[in-house]
Amino acid sequence: MTYQHTIHWSVDNDVNNLKGSVEIKEAAQKLAAGELVAFPTETVYGLGASARSHAAVQSIFKAKGRPSDNPLIVHIARAEDVNNYVEEVPETAWKLMNSFWPGPLTIILRHNGVLSTGVTAGLSTVALRMPDHPVALALIEASGEPVAAPSANRSGRPSPTTAGHVREDLDGRIAGIVDGGATGVGLESTVVDCTQEPVMILRPGGVTKSQLEAVVGQVDVDPSLQETAAEEAPRSPGMKYKHYAPEAPLTLIDGDEAFFHMCITEAKDKGSRIGVIVDKKEAADVEADKTYLLENSDGETVARELYAALRYFKKEDVDHIFMRVQPEDDIGFAIMNRLIKAAGGRILSRN
């Protein structure tokens, strides 16, 4: 479906104001009627549809250009709603929900067949989360629907962290966008498989491995996270296919500042226009054609600004984008997961 005009609803994030919001009510009515509505969460903007409507779910894949074997995350407004969609909830899953919901953690459980098969991509499991954002929770509750919602971007592009990013990719393809301002975490949720023991991380994100282990003990990491793609059918969003790619190719630089500068100089000497992503402390010494300045180099800041940085560079402005690899401790593991996918595995190292 195409739209002559994608509606833009601007809302106040104050919980008390949202309860009677005309904009939330209108957007919720669109969702309940089977249409697509983008909305903010604490991670990125999601593209929502009723998870019980097969036609609505299929509209997500069409609007995004997303492969249909890539499962979707179902967003709910109350933790107890999990019981409506799964066979059982193991004790480990309850512990994680009690500790991290609402929040950037998606939990995979065995579904009971109530939801559209398009949501589960034909798998026996479903991914569920309760977002920590007042707009998202108000919208889901008002719609009366479990809301399937991948990131609200064209498939393969950097995920959107503002309503403007959503409009860049999906204007005319969806019914509306609920504008709740910029998101907070900036990276998608951590996805954990709770159908096995120990729990396994299928996608790193806003909740770190050490945080999970503080609640449930040992947590495993899926071996495919060390690769750029998985060959089998993906069990979680983000496990397969190219993701997060900017318009110009991204290359990661593994080395010190001198090596980073040398890579930039060599590329410019060959006639390439170079864009770089660096923090403000490094910026003064970098001679690039276009620069995105990160506020600082700590993991939370890089995570929050990463997708905006990747969207900043246009192919008419630069031929290549360079960024140094990031420390892989805590949130850095999720950052590098996204960067390696965005770069298609391209890393220059000083041997």
**Segments in the chain forming alpha helices (H):** 15-18, 22-32, 54-64, 91-100, 117-120, 134-143, 163-170, 209-216, 257-269, 280-283, 299-312, 331-342
- Please give the helix or strand (H or E) that residue 260 lies within, else none: helix 257-269
Q: What is the identity of the amino acid at 193?
A: D
- Is 244 annotated as a binding-site member? yes
261 in a known ligand binding site: no
Burial of 223 (0-12, 13-18, 19+ CB in 10 A): exposed
Q: Is 68 annotated as a binding residue?
A: no
Assigned token pair, 219: 């947590």
Q: Annotated binding residue at 210?
A: no
| 312 is an annotated ligand-binding site residue | no
Is 79 marked as a binding-site residue? Answer: no
- Check whether 157 is labelled as a binding-site residue: no
CA-based max dimension of the chain? 61
Annotated binding residue 106: no
Please tell me whether 8 is known to bind a ligand.
Answer: no
151 known ligand binder: yes
66 carries a ligand binding annotation: yes
Task: Give burial (CB, 10 Å; 0-12/13-18/19+) of 272.
Answer: middle
Distance of alpha carbon 107 from the chain centroid: 15
203 is in an annotated binding site: yes
Determine the 3-state secondary structure of 20 from DSSP.
Answer: coil
Binding residues for L-threonine: 43, 75, 129, 149, 189
Binding residues: 43, 66, 70, 75, 125, 129, 149, 151, 159, 189, 203, 244
Binding residues for ATP: 66, 70, 125, 151, 159, 203, 244
